[in-house]
Amino acid sequence: DAGVTQSPTHLIKTRGQQVTLRCSPKSGHDTVSWYQQALGQGPQFIFQYYEEEERQRGNFPDRFSGHQFPNYSSELNVNALLLGDSALYLCASSLTTYEQYFGPGTRLTVT
Protein backbone atom coordinates (compact mmCIF):
# COMPACT_ATOMS: atom_id res chain seq x y z
CA ASP A 1 0.00 0.00 0.00
CA ALA A 2 1.72 3.16 -1.22
CA GLY A 3 1.80 5.95 1.29
CA VAL A 4 1.81 9.65 0.58
CA THR A 5 4.29 10.56 -2.13
CA GLN A 6 5.67 13.99 -2.98
CA SER A 7 7.73 15.36 -5.84
CA PRO A 8 10.29 16.65 -6.31
CA THR A 9 12.43 15.77 -3.29
CA HIS A 10 14.55 18.89 -3.51
CA LEU A 11 14.20 22.12 -5.44
CA ILE A 12 16.31 25.26 -5.78
CA LYS A 13 14.69 28.43 -7.09
CA THR A 14 15.60 32.10 -7.38
CA ARG A 15 13.74 34.95 -5.71
CA GLY A 16 10.75 36.06 -7.75
CA GLN A 17 10.29 32.73 -9.51
CA GLN A 18 7.29 30.46 -9.22
CA VAL A 19 7.26 26.84 -8.04
CA THR A 20 4.84 23.90 -8.18
CA LEU A 21 5.02 21.01 -5.73
CA ARG A 22 3.06 17.78 -6.16
CA CYS A 23 1.46 15.30 -3.82
CA SER A 24 -0.26 11.94 -4.26
CA PRO A 25 -2.33 10.92 -1.25
CA LYS A 26 -2.41 7.55 0.42
CA SER A 27 -4.72 5.12 -1.38
CA GLY A 28 -8.34 5.73 -0.38
CA HIS A 29 -7.72 9.16 1.12
CA ASP A 30 -9.74 12.06 -0.25
CA THR A 31 -8.40 15.00 1.76
CA VAL A 32 -5.03 16.68 1.28
CA SER A 33 -3.41 19.24 3.55
CA TRP A 34 -0.23 21.20 2.95
CA TYR A 35 2.19 22.38 5.63
CA GLN A 36 5.32 24.51 5.66
CA GLN A 37 8.06 23.50 8.09
CA ALA A 38 10.81 26.04 8.62
CA LEU A 39 14.10 24.94 10.15
CA GLY A 40 13.77 24.23 13.86
CA GLN A 41 10.01 24.68 13.89
CA GLY A 42 6.96 22.50 13.68
CA PRO A 43 4.83 22.22 10.55
CA GLN A 44 2.53 25.18 9.90
CA PHE A 45 -0.82 24.66 8.17
CA ILE A 46 -1.12 26.26 4.73
CA PHE A 47 -4.46 24.92 3.46
CA GLN A 48 -6.59 21.83 3.03
CA TYR A 49 -8.33 20.50 -0.08
CA TYR A 50 -11.38 18.29 -0.20
CA GLU A 51 -13.56 17.47 -3.20
CA GLU A 52 -11.33 19.70 -5.35
CA GLU A 53 -12.11 22.75 -3.24
CA GLU A 54 -10.01 24.65 -0.72
CA ARG A 55 -11.80 23.81 2.52
CA GLN A 56 -9.70 25.82 4.93
CA ARG A 57 -6.71 28.11 4.79
CA GLY A 58 -4.08 29.00 7.34
CA ASN A 59 -2.32 32.32 7.75
CA PHE A 60 -0.48 32.36 4.43
CA PRO A 61 -0.57 35.05 1.70
CA ASP A 62 -2.34 34.63 -1.63
CA ARG A 63 1.03 33.85 -3.24
CA PHE A 64 0.36 30.35 -1.96
CA SER A 65 -2.31 28.58 -3.97
CA GLY A 66 -3.30 25.02 -4.59
CA HIS A 67 -5.32 22.61 -6.57
CA GLN A 68 -6.82 19.17 -6.10
CA PHE A 69 -7.51 16.88 -9.02
CA PRO A 70 -10.35 14.34 -9.43
CA ASN A 71 -7.96 11.52 -8.45
CA TYR A 72 -7.36 13.42 -5.14
CA SER A 73 -3.76 14.31 -5.96
CA SER A 74 -2.81 17.89 -5.25
CA GLU A 75 -0.46 20.70 -6.19
CA LEU A 76 0.92 23.57 -4.17
CA ASN A 77 1.94 26.67 -6.13
CA VAL A 78 3.99 29.51 -4.74
CA ASN A 79 4.41 32.70 -6.77
CA ALA A 80 6.96 35.51 -6.41
CA LEU A 81 9.22 33.44 -4.20
CA LEU A 82 10.90 35.09 -1.24
CA LEU A 83 13.99 33.96 0.65
CA GLY A 84 11.69 33.27 3.61
CA ASP A 85 9.80 30.66 1.61
CA SER A 86 12.78 28.32 1.97
CA ALA A 87 11.43 25.39 3.98
CA LEU A 88 10.33 21.79 3.94
CA TYR A 89 6.86 21.52 2.40
CA LEU A 90 4.84 18.61 3.70
CA CYS A 91 1.73 17.10 2.24
CA ALA A 92 -0.62 15.08 4.43
CA SER A 93 -3.61 13.01 3.41
CA SER A 94 -6.52 11.75 5.45
CA LEU A 95 -9.88 10.04 5.22
CA THR A 96 -11.16 11.08 8.61
CA THR A 97 -10.52 14.62 9.65
CA TYR A 98 -8.25 13.79 12.54
CA GLU A 99 -5.43 11.40 11.64
CA GLN A 100 -3.24 12.64 8.86
CA TYR A 101 -0.53 10.70 7.06
CA PHE A 102 2.45 12.74 5.93
CA GLY A 103 4.67 12.42 2.90
CA PRO A 104 8.47 12.81 3.07
CA GLY A 105 8.29 16.44 1.99
CA THR A 106 9.87 18.66 -0.63
CA ARG A 107 12.85 20.73 0.45
CA LEU A 108 12.61 24.15 -1.26
CA THR A 109 15.61 26.46 -1.23
CA VAL A 110 15.18 30.03 -2.51
CA THR A 111 18.38 31.88 -3.38
Partner 1 sequence: DQQVKQNSPSLSVQEGRISILNCDYTNSMFDYFLWYKKYPAEGPTFLISISSIKDKNEDGRFTVFLNKSAKHLSLHIVPSQPGDSAVYFCAARSYNNNDMRFGAGTRLTVKP
Interface residues with partner 1 (CB under 8 A)? 4, 33, 35, 40-45, 48, 55-56, 58, 90, 92, 97-105
- Decide whether 9 or 71 has the Cβ nearer to partner 1: 9
- Decide whether 45 or 65 has the Cβ nearer to partner 1: 45
Least distance in Å: CB of 52 to partner 1?
16
- Decide whether 14 or 28 has the Cβ nearer to partner 1: 28
Per-residue DSSP letters for the chain? ----EEE-SEEEE-TT--EEEEEEPPTT--EEEEEEE-TTS--EEEEEEETTEEEEE-S--TTEEEEE-TTS-EEEEE-S--GGG-EEEEEEEESSSS--EE---EEEEE-
Least distance in Å: CB of 80 to partner 1?
24
Between vectors from CA 62 to CA 11 and to CA 49, what angle results, nearest 5°?
75
Least distance in Å: CB of 28 to partner 1?
16
- Decide whether 90 or 110 has the Cβ nearer to partner 1: 90
